[in-house]
Amino acid sequence: MADRFRVTLAQLNPSVGDLAGNAAKAREAWAAGLAAGADLVALPEMFLTGYNTQDLVQKPVFHQAAMAAAAQLAQDCAAGPALAIGCPWAEEGKLYNAYLILKEGKIASRCLKHHLPNETVFDEMRIFDAGPLAGPYAVGDVRIGSPICEDGWHEDVAETLAETGAEFLLIPNGSPYYRNKMEVRQNHTVARAVETGLPVIYLNMVGGQDDQVFDGGSFVLNPDGALALQMPVFDEVITQLDLIRTEAGWRAVEGEKAHLPDSWEQDYRVMVESLRDYMGKTGFKKALLGLSGGVDSAIVAAIAVDAIGAENVRCAMLPSEYTSRESLEDAEAVAKALGVHYDYVPIAEGRSAISNTLAPLFAGYDEDLTEENIQSRLRGLLLMAMSNKFGEMLLTTGNKSEVAVGYATIYGDMNGGYNPIKDMYKTRVFETCRWRNANHRPWMMGPVGEVIRPNVIDKPPSAELREDQKDSDSLPDYPELDAILEILVDQDGSVADCVARGFARETVKRVEHLIYISEYKRYQSAPGARLSPRAFWLDRRYPIVNRFRDMS
């Protein structure tokens, strides 16, 4: 009977739908395990297909191709350690989220996910069938239990595995980031270790997929809940873990314990990685954005440079007669500090042509929001033309405060393929700019030091679509607005909840009204990095036509 068992933990970044590419990554991990003398090489949940697949996995030709790829992978990795990999599994008219154990040239065992998450970004109860509670699988003479992701958050699956002979737990995950989620994961995993008296391996994937970023941070706990190993967040890493048999059962040998950065750094890293992977996995090499001289476009420019390099980012200033000298200087300063290509494209002539075209139709009507929005839509048209001509993906730059209340022009400044700051409130944008100026990390491709001059951060925000315009003309000041939005959006609170926190009912009702009437804009907005459990898109799904208003 073996007294030592080595597991190769492969915290890697798959691409949804890239069966050949994901299988190649699995083979590389297996080869590393073979070279290290591993008994088992483990990859995360649904790794072979990538995750989150949404309805793609229900397409028979897709899940059948994935199963065939798993069978081929088993043959390719026959002479060496067992390989554990997430993959869909179909049988008897049912489709499962499965964890396959490949050894000796075949699919030797399969675990089927029992608890299917059906909240936030997950729809697994609609997509998959629930597998039964089942026992462990064997690798050599060692019996291993693998609760799959959500199964690790419930005691019944781990308890059943322990009662039927599992000697340690390996939990494969496709767990996307939200702020402070690591603490939630660790609390659940400590509970499983203490309840079962078994070592627990929590293995998560990394990488961006649409709005979600899988942040890795895989870790290992011993039966008392003590941390034995901590892998880094966000990085692709292959790590060797040794377990030894003692009189009291298996114990994980202590390994490296990576530093976990604070939430400011993790949020920024998520925005960088989400953009980097969104572009890389969709085939875009270069990005473009309108640089207004304001804080939102400045931080998006910094994120883009950190994600893909200054040589791949184009910024354009598109001034009107309302654009201040201060904004012109601030935009140019940010572009120079970041080292990006910078274009100056005035819109006055185009705006005049559009106004002249519409003049006969608009005769007798006063100027209003229509004329303001023409400026924004003209900028959107010009930026999209540049995107088409140069093959650069246009980034949009609306923060969560603006997205929430519709303070953006549809088919104008909302144009774009991706929005890195879509889930970041304005007040946090200000602080993130300060954080980036003060911090630099090896994963950032942009320059060290101050890249957003203080005036960009400190001046009153303005869309500059009319003379002396300020955001505060139309909205509560951002600290107040964001605090109200935190209650109404992130906490699903009521008007009464806001009033109880000291906000004027009239102000809260106006914000609530803006949230509801802006739903149609959000349905047509670009995807963006998810930073919270209540991001706009899959986390919060509201009808466009909605006549309910909170009377509390």
b/e 410-443 (16+ beta carbons within 10 angstroms → b): bebbbbbbbbbbbbbbbbbbbebbebbbeeeeee
Question: Is 59 known to be catalytic?
Answer: no
Question: Is 28 known to be catalytic?
Answer: no
Contact yes or no for 534/488 (Cβ under 8 A): no
3-class secondary-structure state, position 276? helix
Catalytic residue among 25, 45, 103, 512: 45
Contact yes or no for 157/151 (Cβ under 8 A): yes
Q: Is the dihedral of CA 16, 20, 21, 22 positive or negative?
A: positive
Catalytic residue among 77, 87, 111, 149: 149
Q: Are strands 206-209 and 200-204 parallel, antiparallel or unpaired?
A: unpaired
C-alpha to C-alpha distances, 507 to 476, 492, 503, nearest whole angstrom: 8, 17, 7
| Of 542, 524, 531, nearest in space to 488 by CA | 542
Contact yes or no for 297/287 (Cβ under 8 A): no
Q: What is the secondary structure of 296-309 as a DSSP string?
A: HHHHHHHHHHHHH-
| Of 48, 111, 43, 39, nearest in space to 82 by CA | 39
State the number of CA atoms in the 13 A half-sphere of 225 facing the CB: 10
Cα-Cα-Cα-Cα dihedral of 374, 377, 383, 385, to 10°?
A: -90
Catalytic residue among 25, 103, 113, 286: 113
Question: Is 45 known to be catalytic?
Answer: yes
User: What amino acid positions are annotated as catalytic residues?
Assistant: 45, 113, 149
